[in-house]
Structure 1
Amino acid sequence: MSASGPVLVVSRLDDTTADSVIEELNRRCVPVMRMDPADFPETVTVTSRVDAVGLVGSLSTSTRSTDMEAVRSVYWRRPGPYSAPKGVNGQEARWCAEEARYGLGGILAALPEAHYVNHPWRNRDAEYKPAQLAMAGRCGFDVPRTVLTNDPQVARDFSQEHGPVVYKALRATDYHDEEGKALTVWVDEVDPDDLDDGVAATMHLFQQRVPSVADLRVTAVGEEIFTVRFDGSPGIDWRRHYDHLTYTLIDTPPQLAISIRAYMNAFGLVFGAFDFGLDTDGRPWWYECNPNGQYAWFPRPITGQIVSAVADQLENAGAPT
């Protein structure tokens, strides 16, 4: 790792959050190299050797090039999927994509002494909602009653006993309609009578609805924690009602901050975006932690503080600031 080396931003081009951080790093005159694994091998060239310090070699895109050992930090954001070269199809395409994933992906995850925000394997481990829920309870968060099941009768019984109950998707998987329009599975309340044999088709997560009067998005970056209160959502899933929301940066409750740091340490995260529902007593209830959550959509004064904290981590390679 070089103190004057570049920050490697691993993300697709249409990532406004990465854009904001890159702009801040440019303002600080910190060199940046942006790479999307989806561009490999068309416009990305990689050569790596193994020596006493680990992997050494070079990474090149159509506009930038760097030695692997010079990379000071890696901002792992929203990379595109590994793919095959144009014209390669079927089984050969799948083979090429998997070789790229385990080859290029393995190299990008093993850059000598680079500081990761977050390391891709830490992101992967922290993305699983069952693991999140289990860890949240151990870290002292208040977690709503939850069941994970593919048994329709269990789902109906849980809904009747603990209703009102909401359904949550276990992952934000790409989903499109017949015209190719992207669709989203929103968090929504479910009626026990609607829980039919379709529940048996896969795993489902059902959770007791929190009687929330507001929502909290808590963004942790290293030792810094930014807590934003959302008010004004007319529905359960505030992501459907951005135009109705007001945002207020508030002080983080001390006990919440203790639990957040414990959770971050448990998963080895540098960055985490936590969501909570705030009940009438002011008690925050755990929803989830996205290890790679968005924040560029906040009002500029709030976004600016988080961007600055992320840039500090990348510029100073994790050293206390």
Structure 2
Amino acid sequence: MSQGPVLVVTNLDDPTADLVIRELHDRDVPVVRLDSGDFPYALSVAATITTDGVGGTLSTPSRTADLASVRSLYYRRPSGFSYPHLAEDDRRFAVAQARFGLGGIIASLPGCRYVNHPHRIADAEYKPSGLAAAAAAGFRLPATRITSDPESAREFIKTHGPAIYKPLAAPLYRVDGVACTVEVGEVTVEDIDERVAGTVHLFQQRVDKVGDARVTVIGDQVFPVRIDCDLLDWRTDYDRLTYSVPDLPPGTGPALAAYLTHFGLVFGAFDFAIDREGRWWFLECNPSGQWAWLEPETGLPMLAAMADLLERTTDDH
């Protein structure tokens, strides 16, 4: 096992990464933190590819990582490449070279444990793929319709209502300069008009829930947390949440493992709705989801588990 650094790839404002880096420092594990979006202004690469694999260096103003000795890579939430000084065509060219060049190097480190591999994260972020994998793993799913046809959407809501709408991805919006996202919300037949034909939408039967669960899997460890509130989407107001540690329903552990294996992940943040009969309904799995705020609320040793995984004190896989 390499005794080299842990590479943490994320943006500057990432409190979860801050906690993990502090824990690794306390263990005397070397860490190199970088944001791929800093390339090429505050990040440079000099790599070679031989029969031994990828070698060379990644350098920031304060750290240099030997690519051949990186023990693990924690891929969190890096910002995008940006070349604001270039004309549009030149900018597209430069961004493509950075994405496939630097991105390809980061994704090809020999002997490195990825948490998670950026290509596997990209695969798992497609919601239809995640729902199909969840069904194959044995999870219970709400009735779901993915469509750009207004009549298909109306028919689904009539058959399976009450229904909710979810975005298939969550790009950042700015309204009057304020960052916001499209929230999960209830939808009725009357809400559907021809604008639905403009893109693809995800509609789902609303679970008559009494609670939610966030189940965080870190390597071989599973951390279930029940979240109670009166909100449709608990992420809209954290101050109204209460937490407890539940038992997993029978069969959930193997299903979690099957899902992660399908996508080649070693970490996942799973969300479930819990109905009045105590049944858990799969909603989604975020391969880069948040988890650190749950430890002080529950006492679950999640930070230590993540540091163990990155330090590679656990069995290699």
Query: Which residue of 1 is the match for residue 4 of structure 2?
Result: 5
Q: Structure 2-normalised TM-score?
A: 0.97
Give the 3-state SS of the residue equivalent to 2:202 in structure 1.
Answer: strand
Higher mean displacement: 86-95 or 110-119: 86-95
Query: Which residue of 1 is the match for residue 94 of structure 2?
Result: 96
Query: Which residue of 1 is the match for residue 131 of structure 2?
Result: 133
Unmatched tracts of structure 1, length 5 or more: none
Question: Structure 1's 135 and 202: CA in aligned 2 closer, same or farther, altered over 3 A?
Answer: same
Of 241, 249, 254, the match for 1:253: 249
Superposed counterparts of 1:65-104, under 5 Å: 65-84=64-83, 87-104=85-102
Cα distance in 2 for residues equivalent to 1:87 and 1:98: 16
What residue identity is the alignment partner of 1:64? R
Question: Structure 1's 304 and 97: CA in aligned 2 closer, same or farther, altered over 3 A?
Answer: farther
Higher mean displacement: 123-132 or 48-57: 48-57
Higher mean displacement: 137-146 or 240-249: 240-249
Query: Which residue of 2 is the match for residue 228 of structure 1?
Result: 225
Cα distance in 2 for residues equivalent to 1:66 and 1:166: 46
Superposed counterparts of 1:57-72, under 5 Å: 57-72=56-71
What residue identity is the alignment partner of 1:282? G
Query: Which residue of 2 is the match for residue 211 of structure 1?
Result: 208
Deviations 1:210-252 (A, max 9, x none): 00000000001111100000012x2211111211110112232
Question: Structure 1's 103 and 93: CA in aligned 2 closer, same or farther, altered over 3 A?
Answer: same
1:241 corresponds to 2:231: no
Cα distance in 1 for residues equivalent to 2:100 and 2:204: 36
What residue identity is the alignment partner of 2:292? A
Q: Calculate percent identity across the aligned residue pairs.
A: 49
Cα distance in 1 for residues equivalent to 2:146 and 2:224: 29
Give the 3-state SS of the residue equivalent to 1:250 in structure 2.
Answer: coil
Cα distance in 2 for residues equivalent to 1:192 and 1:49: 58
Could you tell me whether the CA contact under 8 Å between 1:211 and 1:279 is conserved in 2? yes
Question: Structure 1's 244 and 61: CA in aligned 2 closer, same or farther, altered over 3 A?
Answer: same
Give the 3-state SS of the residue equivalent to 1:220 in structure 2.
Answer: strand
Give the 3-state SS of the residue equivalent to 2:315 in structure 1.
Answer: coil
Deviations 1:191-220 (A, max 9, x none): 111100010000000000000000000001
1:274 corresponds to 2:274: no
Could you tell me whether the CA contact under 8 Å between 1:152 and 1:200 is conserved in 2? yes
Q: What is the Cα deviation at residue 297 of structure 1?
A: 2.2
Query: Which residue of 1 is the match for residue 24 of structure 2?
Result: 25
Question: Structure 1's 295 and 12: CA in aligned 2 closer, same or farther, altered over 3 A?
Answer: same
Q: What is the Cα deviation at residue 53 of structure 1?
A: 1.1
Q: What is the Cα deviation at residue 320 of structure 1?
A: 6.1
Of 146, 149, 152, the match for 2:150: 152
Question: Structure 1's 318 and 118: CA in aligned 2 closer, same or farther, altered over 3 A?
Answer: farther
Cα distance in 2 for residues equivalent to 1:48 and 1:163: 55
Give the 3-state SS of the residue equivalent to 2:172 in structure 1.
Answer: coil
What residue identity is the alignment partner of 1:262? A
Cα distance in 1 for residues equivalent to 2:108 and 2:295: 36
Cα distance in 2 for residues equivalent to 1:31 and 1:273: 26
Query: Which residue of 1 is the match for residue 306 of structure 2?
Result: 310
Give the 3-state SS of the residue equivalent to 1:182 in structure 2.
Answer: strand
Could you tell me whether the CA contact under 8 Å between 2:295 and 2:302 is conserved in 1? no
Could you tell me whether the CA contact under 8 Å between 2:223 and 2:300 is conserved in 1? no
Q: What is the Cα deviation at residue 70 of structure 1?
A: 1.1
Could you tell me whether the CA contact under 8 Å between 1:145 and 1:208 is conserved in 2? yes
What residue identity is the alignment partner of 2:268? G
Cα distance in 2 for residues equivalent to 1:303 and 1:49: 45
Cα distance in 2 for residues equivalent to 1:44 and 1:299: 33
Q: Structure 1-normalised TM-score?
A: 0.95
Deviations 1:150-179 (A, max 9, x none): 0000101110111000000001111111x2
Cα distance in 2 for residues equivalent to 1:200 and 1:300: 45
Could you tell me whether the CA contact under 8 Å between 2:295 and 2:303 is conserved in 1? no
Higher mean displacement: 25-34 or 294-303: 294-303
What residue identity is the alignment partner of 2:33? R
Could you tell me whether the CA contact under 8 Å between 1:36 and 1:79 is conserved in 2? yes
